[in-house]
Amino acid sequence: MPSLIQRLRFAGLKHKPVIKKDNERGGAGKQLIYWLDTEPLSEEEAYSSLDKADKVVRYQRSSAGDVKPSWLFRLIFNQGELKNRSHRGYWLMGSIVFTVLLLALWLGLALFGQVSKTSPLTLGQMINLALLVGGAWLIWTQYGLPWIRLVDYRVVKAPLMALSWKELSAELEMHRDSKGNQWTRFVRFTGDCPICSGRVELMSGKPEHRLPLVGRCVESPHAHVFSFDRTQLTGHYIGPDLHAVD
């Protein structure tokens, strides 16, 4: 009801839908008729201004195993979770460091090879170079950068290659359990938009926000924007100023 009233107010309507019945007490053999009716909004409901407290989104964290990683990561993560200081954790860290080093070496050698040639560049060489840079960028954004950022940011968007093809979007989270052990897990944070009841998902803050991750309403991703607090699981409205049009 509160979210419905908020939407009615937002749309400039002065009535709310209610369910009515023709008899207060039903019972055996008595017919009871229900119907939908409208009632004017009460003073309080109609005039509570759209203040900051109204525009708070509450995020929900999906439970363990809800987000399906790709087959490669299913081998390393157990039910979408991984203890950082474990054999599998070290294996993952090692393979990321190895991938990044190999990438740097490969790119360095390839670029050096291109530069050291004295003959002018042919079209074939240009295409080779473009493929090389594209491939390097892909490996870096999928297997390097997100895992390195995760340590500082605690939550990042999971790279698409780490997710099962059925998953469209999910997050990676690093958290500490009660014994102080660090864990990495696949999760999804979602919420209900307090303005339009659309689904709020975490997306990149770029281009208009400096925060790395913000909650964006799928119905209006650039207007209904919210901050994201991982520990409180709340966010407040940070989109364009709603009172600017008044």
Sites of contact with Zn ion (CB under 5 A):
193, 195-196, 198, 217, 219-220, 224
Q: Counting runs of H as helices and runs of E as strands, what totals does the chain give?
A: 6, 12
- Chain centroid, CA 61 distance in Å: 10
Is 202 buried (19+), middle (13-18) or exposed (0-12) by CB count in 10 A?
buried
CA distance 230 to 187: 12
Pick between residue 54 and residue 219 the one whose CB is nearest to Zn ion.
219
Pick between residue 55 and residue 185 the one whose CB is nearest to Zn ion.
55
Pick between residue 107 and residue 203 the one whose CB is nearest to Zn ion.
203
CB of 96 to Zn ion, least distance (A): 36
CB of 194 to Zn ion, least distance (A): 8
CB of 196 to Zn ion, least distance (A): 3
Is 235 buried (19+), middle (13-18) or exposed (0-12) by CB count in 10 A?
buried
CB of 224 to Zn ion, least distance (A): 3
Pick between residue 81 and residue 219 the one whose CB is nearest to Zn ion.
219
Q: In the beta sheet, which residues pair with residue 191?
A: 59, 200
CA distance 239 to 223: 5
